Every structure is written in C-alpha cells, then in structure tokens.
Structure 1
Amino acid sequence: MSEPTAAPASSVTAPSDRPSRGRVLVTGASVAGPAAAYWLERVGYDVTVLERSAEPRLGGQNVDVRGLAREVLERMGLREAVLAANTGEVGTRFVDERGRTVSEFPAEAGEPDGPTAELEVLRGELARILTGACGDGVTWWSGDHVVEVEQSAEEVTVTLAGGDVHRFDLVVVAEGPRSHTRGLVLGPEQRPELKRLGMHMAWATIPRTADDDRWWRWMSVPGSRSVTLRPDNLGTTRATLGFMDDPGDFEDLPPAGQVAELRRRFGDLGWEVPRVLDAIGQGEELYVEDLTQVVCPTWSAGRVVLLGDAAWCVTPIAGAGTSLALLGAYVLAVELAALAPGEAPAAAYERWEGWMRPVVEEAQDLPPGTPRLANPQSRVGTTLFRAGTRLAALRPVRALASRLTSGPDPDRELPPLPAG
C-alpha cells in the first residue's frame, strides 16, 4: 500500500523514540492544522498532517494574530519569526474614487491590536512558519484527501481518495468552511448552520508598482462595493474586490467566469481598479468566497474533532479566524494532555469546547448592520460611511475603537500545558 505523496525530504521528520499517547491524523495544512500538529506532538502524540493540495499552499492574503493568540505564539517561541515575516503595513487609509485620503488609522507602537495588528502576516507565510516549527513526531502527507471515515470505540479508520486505508487514535479536521471531511463525520442532526453575510469577496495577488505604498488602502463606493490594496513582504500587492449580493453561483464559476463577473461589477470604477482587473484577467492568483459563518451544534463526534474554520468559520469580516485557530489548537492539546492513559477523548473534547465556544460566539456576534454599513448601496450612504471613518480616526475615538479589534478574550488566561 503506497503512502500519499510526502512533503519534501527536508520537511519530513522521523518519529521520536519517546512513548506515544497515540496516532493522530490532522487534515488540512493551512494555519489550524500545523498549529494543532505542533501542540499535539508537544504533548506526546505521533501526528500525521494530510493536505489535499499536492504542493504547499503558500499564497493567500493578510491575516493577523491578536489577543490571547499572541501569547500562544509566545509559548511556541514564534513571535519573532512572525514579526520578521510581517507585511510591513503601516496603517489603514480610507480613500475616495480618486484615491484621495478620507481618513487614516496609523499603526502605533504599544497598540498591537489596532486595525493594523502588530503581528500582520500573509497566511502562507504563517503556515510556513508553523510547519517549520513542528518537531520529530510530525509527518507530512500531501496530494490526497479523506473519502470515508469509520469509527470504533478504540480507533478511527480513514480511507483516502488514492485508495489507502489508515487507522488512527484521533482525527482532527482542520479544513476550510466547506470541509468535505466534516460531512463524513457529523450526522444529519449535527450538520452546521451556514449563515451567509450577503457579501462576496475576491482576493488577488497582483504585481506591485511604484505607486503602491505601505498603507492598507480601502475604497467603498455606491453599489455596495469595496476595493482594497495591501502591501506584503514578498514584493507584490494584495488586492480585494468585495460586493454585496444575494446567493448566486459566483463562487462556483470557472476562473474566466469569475473574472468576467468582476469586470461587469467593477469596470466603471477608476483609481487602481482597472489595474486590478487587468492583473486578474492575465491569470494572477485569484480566490473567491461567499462569506459564510459556520455554526456547528457540536465540534466533535466520537474520536474526531473539528478545528478552525471547519468548526466555526467567523469569516474575514470578524477578523479573528487566525487567532481562534491558534488558540483552539493550543487549548485542544491542553485538554487531550489531561486525559488518563487509555481514556476516551470525549471528555477532553467536551472541556475544550466549553472553553472555546464562548470565545467563538463572541467573534461571530458581529455588530448590527455588518457588513452592509461598510458597503452602502447609495451615494448618501457612502458619504455617511466616509464621515464615520473621519470621526473614528480622531484619537479619543480611535483609542476606544481599539478595544473592538483586540482579538479573542485578551483579558482571559490561557490554561497551563501539563508538565511532561
């Protein structure tokens, strides 16, 4: 029986000689997956990470680490590595249709959780750092995915699309909001509620030009549309095109169809929009999503547990997805480490969910009118929104608003990792 394609030899590490708590399969190698692998290996499990993509997915847009998740990075010893990979963003500027500044929110020393966080990094860069930090008890597989899951009281049997069958003590599903593996695990009465926010987003990586600066530039225009440009640390620029609309097939269109739809919706705009549309029309990286929260009645079934977006997608509108993934991976390892030898994982999953669910629910509880308030339909609404950003940019108001972007439970204490 052949194994799935492994990661490059430099990334694959051999298991250690210490006694193992058991074998764990983690599906997904974005942020939640490698974070879970790191902590589960740390507390004594032999971990295999399975990524559907044949090659590492090192692209992606800006993410940030806030609140308690910063302390998780500290405990991993990775804060400096993430700082070194920061995008270099110096703050947020709202602009009008001609690119003129309406208001600005500079990143300031001593305010790690403002609109531009201290730990602002590309998703792919963070995934690379987390993957590289994993130890000898983690093995990496790629180019395959789970198509069948069977459980007994003692183990989980998974069948992969390539035909291989493997047995594990635990499975952690750390996939995206459309997780296929989640559907193989949860019964009909456990299926998540998918709550659309009514907004479609398209993310693109485009060539950088001399006119690009280190600000996150954000333009909202009538028609419930927004366009943003953000710097990165790789010599390119990250662009987004967002629009409010009823459910449709935009996310499922072929790339050429997605580009055509974006041209139809944004082709009348000036500023940097023609440049963005030209770039994606020439095949630059494009990822689209119908922003949808995932609300699961339970995050586990038997020996399988959901983590990150597969369990609780909060969407980029909430701005806490990466922090929750890091936090959830750490607390999950803490609770599993507290199990007695041979004890079933259900008790650990229950304690973990009890700790995490209030944090997730707070992140999913968006302010009334979100995201419509930042994407007005009318010209009057757009004018009022811009006036609101000017008011919010005043220093006293900005200091108050920083509490709203402070990340998951910044005043709560992390549970300790058991010794040994």
Structure 2
Amino acid sequence: MATTSAPTVLISGAGIAGTTLAYWLARHGFRPTVVERAAGLRSSGSPVDVRGPAVPVAERMGVLPGLREAATRVSALSFVDAAGRQVGRVDLGALRRAAGRREVEVTRADLARILHDAGRDTAEYLFGDTVTALRQDPDGVDVDFAHAAPRRFDLVVGADGLHSTTRRLAFGPEAEFVEHLGLYVATLPLGGPAERATEVVLHNAPGRMVSVHPVRGEALAAFVFRHPGVAGPDLRDTGLHRRLLTEAYRGGGWRIPELLDRVRGAEDLWFDAVSRVRIDRWSNGRIGLLGDAASSVSLFGDGSTLAMAGAHTLAEELAAAPGDPVAAFARYRARHRALVDPRQGGVATAAALLVPATRAGIAARNAATRLWPAAAALSWLRATAAGAGRPSAR
C-alpha cells in the first residue's frame, strides 16, 4: 500500500453497496471515505428486498431490527383488469411462511439510511461532490473531485450505480458495458396513501405494466413498458420521459388516465432504461467496481441483496490481502459471480412474467398466480413487482 498506516479507500456512491462496504472496511481496519453526488442521503426510493445472503450481513451489522421496524407491511399482490376487477392475487404472507424465508421489504431510502447510520461514525462522507479524474500508479490512486481538493487513496471502489462515473473513468464508455433490455421503467410518488394499505395493485396491457405500491403511508406508482432503445436518452430530460410514458400508455384503462395526468405535472418523476451490465473484469489495478456498476441486473434481480452481499465479500477479500489488492479484487469477483450470474440469466423470464407482450400471456400469468408453487411465486413476484428499485444514476 502507499502508506504504512490504515489503508485508505475512496468509495464513490452512498447507496446500498457503498454504505455497506464503508461499514465493513472500517471494521477490517481500513479508512473509508464515501463521496456522493447528491447533497445528502436520498429521501425517495422504491421498495426493495433484503433477502437471502443479505440477511446474515444485516444481522452482523445489527441493523435487522431497524429494517423490520421500517418494513413496508405489504402482504399481497393483486392483479386487476382495465375495469379494476381483480383477476389474480398472491398472498405474500402465506408464501413467506411456506418458503421459510426471512426477507424484509423496505424502501430503498430507508435501507440506505439505516446502513449509513450503522457506520457513519467510522467513515468520512463527502456529500454534494463527485469524482472527475482518476490517475493510478503501482502504489495508489490520485483522485480529482468536482469541488473538494485532490486527494490520494490506496484504493478506489465505484459503487455509483448503473451509470457509474468510476466505471467510465477507469474502464471506458458506458455504451461498451450497458445492455438495454427492451424495457423502460418510471416511478412517481403519488403524495398520499394508497387505497389498499397492505397490497400492491398491478394492471397489465400487452407490453405495459403499471402498479401502485402502498410503501409506508405514501403510494408510489411504477410504470414498466416495452420499448426499443432510444439513442442516448438524457437522464435529466424529463420532457422526453413524459412523452415516452404518454405515448406508451395512451388509451389505457384502470387508473392510467389519472396517473398520466400526474406524470405531466410531476416534479419528481424518475425514469431509466431497464438494463444489464456486462463487463469482463470488475477491477483495473487499484480501482474496483461494486453493485450495479459491476453487474447490474436492473429491477429484476435482487439488486439490493446482491449489493450488500457483494460489499461484505469485497471487504473480506481486501482484508485478507491488504498488500495485494489485485488478487483481492479477483477473488471477490470469483466469489460474487456465483450469486450474480443466475440473476442476470433470469432477466428475460422475469420480464415476460411482469410485462407479458400479449393478451394471452397476461391471461396465462394471471391464472398462474393461483397455481404456482410457493417458492416459484415468491422468487419472481416479490423481486419484480413489489421490489422494483431505482438504479443509481451518476
């Protein structure tokens, strides 16, 4: 390492992956610094699941009780037709008990806040800033920031999401690694409670899905629709996003006309492509990638769970070989790919179930909600419809 004192690590991104990594690196004797473009922890976010390999990580961090306290309390998914009549239903409570699962659903904002609070006293946080340049040599990485003075770190980890600045600076243009999967997703807070306080309500038309999630007292609308890739849609071009949504959902039933009216006047509409990141290597010398920056599986793939599990694994490997980060990054990738690869491979199937392309497909899916075994229903339904999350955009 560049110094004989505790190794310094810059983490770009204060989301799920970045806050978890900062916690565990500090526990292993590193000095983590987290830089986040936003002015503070984000106050909005769709529901996400903490499940499987993330549960023991949360337990060891001591945050599981807080997560359960912040849980959304969703107990069912209801599928409705254009007139609002129920055409399918999944009792999530019964499925959880049948499957013996311990997962918890929380908003992404609550999860990030709880993880940040667990380790905020052992990490430095730089909000309202971002990395602008990275220059590495065999002993460390020199980092330029948009606002802070340049600094040198032993390691840099990009945990800055699907549109990672770290990945662009250290590995190449986004277009080389991000694959559009033929869908777009948008979310919009509705500013009041949902009609059904414990149920997610979903409506499909061919190639389109819209849902209303009760979250925690404030309903959230989510739109997922099939659409060819639009060349370089600007993440800040809300006008373009409104037009795409209006065109895709024009003439729809159920609550779609009302929701489109809200979209037209929305100040906090979030919109992005459903995408998958494929990159052969997750590290370049002393610079590594974590979470969606390395292996996004978009809203269909347990993103928060994988982010927490991957952060814990990366911290373990860096601690096991503090003098050889290249080897540590390689071992982290080998271990974590065993969790990531199956999720990335299942995206097409999940998309077909959540957003069937035909009326026949919708009817078959609705009928299947009454027939699927518990494990299968829980596996895809909770990870997709109830847990659609926001990838980070930097």
TM over 0.5: yes
What is the number of residues matched between the two proteins? 378
Report the Cα offset of residue 382 of structure 1. 2.6
| TM-score, structure 1 as length reference | 0.83
**Match of 1:308?**
291
Report the Cα offset of residue 163 of structure 1. 6.4
The 1:109–1:72 alpha-carbon spacing in structure 2 relative to 1, beyond 3 Å, is farther
Contact 1:66 1:406 in 2 (8 A): no
Bigger CA drift: 138-147 or 280-289? Answer: 280-289
Bigger CA drift: 32-41 or 55-64? Answer: 55-64
Contact 1:63 1:121 in 2 (8 A): yes
**Match of 1:327?**
309
Report the Cα offset of residue 287 of structure 1. 0.9
Bigger CA drift: 241-250 or 89-98? Answer: 241-250
The 1:197–1:370 alpha-carbon spacing in structure 2 relative to 1, beyond 3 Å, is farther
The 1:38–1:303 alpha-carbon spacing in structure 2 relative to 1, beyond 3 Å, is same
Report the Cα offset of residue 211 of structure 1. 2.4
The 1:170–1:141 alpha-carbon spacing in structure 2 relative to 1, beyond 3 Å, is same
Contact 1:207 1:279 in 2 (8 A): no
**Match of 2:239?**
256
Query: Does residue 232 of structure 2 align to residue 247 of structure 1?
Result: no
For residues 348 and 231 of structure 2, what CA distance do their matches in structure 1 show? 27
Report the Cα offset of residue 26 of structure 1. 0.6
| TM-score, structure 2 as length reference | 0.89
**Match of 1:380?**
360
Query: Does residue 183 of structure 2 align to residue 207 of structure 1?
Result: no
The 1:245–1:191 alpha-carbon spacing in structure 2 relative to 1, beyond 3 Å, is closer
**Match of 2:388?**
none
RMSD across aligned C-alpha pairs, in angstroms? Answer: 2.5
**Match of 1:398?**
374
Query: Does residue 291 of structure 2 align to residue 292 of structure 1?
Result: no
Unmatched 5+ stretches in structure 1:
1-18, 408-420
Unmatched 5+ stretches in structure 2:
384-394
**Match of 1:157?**
142
Structure exhibiting the larger radius of gyration computed from Cα positions:
1
- Spell out structure 1 runs of 4+ moving beyond 3 A: 190-193, 367-370, 399-407
1:362-413 CA-to-partner distances (Å, cap 9, x unmatched) read 1111165441343233333332332233332xxxx22454466798xxxxxx
Percent identical among aligned pairs is 35
Where is the helix percentage greater, Structure 1 or Structure 2? 2
Q: Which amino acid aligns with 2:10?
A: L
Q: Which amino acid aligns with 2:290?
A: L
For residues 405 and 304 of structure 1, what CA distance do their matches in structure 2 show? 36
For residues 207 and 168 of structure 1, what CA distance do their matches in structure 2 show? 43
1:21-51 CA-to-partner distances (Å, cap 9, x unmatched) read 3111110011111111111111111111100
For residues 355 and 321 of structure 2, what CA distance do their matches in structure 1 show? 48
Q: Which amino acid aligns with 1:364?
A: Q
For residues 76 and 259 of structure 2, what CA distance do their matches in structure 1 show? 21
**Match of 2:155?**
170
For residues 185 and 194 of structure 2, what CA distance do their matches in structure 1 show? 26
Report the Cα offset of residue 265 of structure 1. 2.1
Q: Which amino acid aligns with 1:201?
A: V
For residues 296 and 285 of structure 1, what CA distance do their matches in structure 2 show? 31
